[in-house]
Amino acid sequence: MLTAAQLSTAVNEALADPPPRIVLDLGGVTFCDSQGLGTLVVLSRKASHAQSLLVLTNVGDFLLRVLDITGLRSALMIRNGAAAD
């Protein structure tokens, strides 16, 4: 289980030498609270400022509903189905 702090550390390390894209596979995520949502938004903004793109893949129905309810779905790059290349 990856916590918001661990995720933040991993993405921040990747942004030290920013790649064009960082892909987060959320296929195993079954729970996401407000801290997790906030972390995804902050990391997406940090990536954008570093001229990188944070892409969420394999986002499950539960998390998609949460993102819809909170209005955050449009603020994040989500690529389900086809590869995020």
What span, in angstroms and rounded, lies between the C-alpha atoms of 3 and 7? Answer: 6
CATH class of 1-79: alpha beta
Q: Assess whether pLDDT exceeds 70 at residue 83.
A: no
Element (H, E) at 62: helix 61-70
Could you give the strand order of the β-sheet that contains 21-25, starting from the edge strand earlier in sequence?
A: 21-25, 53-57, 77-79
pTM for the predicted model, two decimal places: 0.86
Element (H, E) at 35: helix 34-49
- Domain extents in the chain: 1-79
Confidence grade of residue 85 (pLDDT, cut at 50, 70, 90): very low
Residue-wise pLDDT tens digits, 26-77: 998 989 999 999 999 999 999 999 999 999 999 999 999 999 999 999 999 9
